[in-house]
A = this chain, B = another copy of it.
Amino acid sequence: MPQELKHPQPRSDRRKRMGGQIQREIMQLILDRGLRPGAVLPTETELMDDLGVSRNSVREALKALQALDIVEIRHGYGTYVGEASLTPLADGLTFRTLVQLGGDDAHALTEILQVREILEEGLVSRVVKSIPEEDLDELDAIVARMMTRAGQGEVFPEEDREFHEVLYRSIGNTLVPQLLGAFWNVFHRVAGARGWAKDPSPTGTARRHKEIVAALRARDRERVQAAMTTHFRGIEARAGKAMRGVG
């Protein structure tokens, strides 16, 4: 019964703040202060005072921003401006693909592969004339490692990832490897979550990568395009077989 005035702020001031408003205020605070990725953010207590909201509200907003990789929270230490990477994209696409597969539509993964193929076809066309010899040497070394592993019946996801990263390094676009990496992550996480079999023919996969490098060395755009298309036909075959086996 005694509930006198327990409100530190008059009611009229502290309502109508819902709907991601606090998140946007924190983002604006970062922009206004010119904070860069890695910079330290005000503590939760300071944000409470600055924004005039409770600690729970601040924490919920920070959690949302953390999910977008806009802030980075370290327990017992502080909160920092994040890199705004494409991790959220990978998370969202993975979830979406699994949810749609859970129904009976195995189309989502094919769509992601198609986008990745379009991207990579356009990318190789742009590097075929300009990729430096040293990058080609590095690609040869990666393919050699692939061959070795394939000869032992092993699979080589790390080399595969590295291959495509080096392949487009000379573009000088930081968004490209992140985007491709996100797609790559989705594919492998979905494959893992559904318990799909590994690459049934590592040797063939390694050979297709080798052909891409050879075509690049020849500076032959047509041949590079064809090699890349063949490479994706191999991936689709794996995915298609697995999806048919499950669905």
Contacts and interface: CB of A to CB of B under 8 A. Distances in A.
Interface of A: 18, 23, 27, 30-31, 34-37, 56, 59-61, 63-70, 75, 81, 83-86, 88-89, 91-93, 95-96, 98-99, 102-103, 108, 111-112, 114-115, 118-119, 121-123, 126, 171, 173-176, 179
Contacts of A96: 83-84
Given A118-B123, A119-B119, A91 B68 contact: yes
B99 A37 contact: yes
Copies of this chain in the oligomer: 2
Contacts of A175: 108, 111-112, 114-115
Contacts of A84: 92-93, 95-96, 99
Nearest to A110: B173
A81 B64 contact: no
A95 B27 contact: yes
A34 B102 contact: yes
Contacts of A83: 96
A85 B175 CA distance: 19
Given A36-B103, A56-B59, 14 more contacts: A18-B75, A23-B67, A31-B102, A34-B102, A35-B99, A68-B88, A69-B92, A89-B92, A111-B176, A114-B173, A114-B175, A115-B179, A118-B122, A121-B122
Contact of A86 (B36, B37, B75, B92): B92
Contacts of A126: 118
A7 to B, nearest CB: 19
A147 to B, nearest CB: 30
A36 B115 contact: no
B119 A118 contact: yes
Nearest to A118: B122
Contacts of A122: 118-119, 121-122
Contacts of A102: 31, 34, 36
A65 B91 CA distance: 10
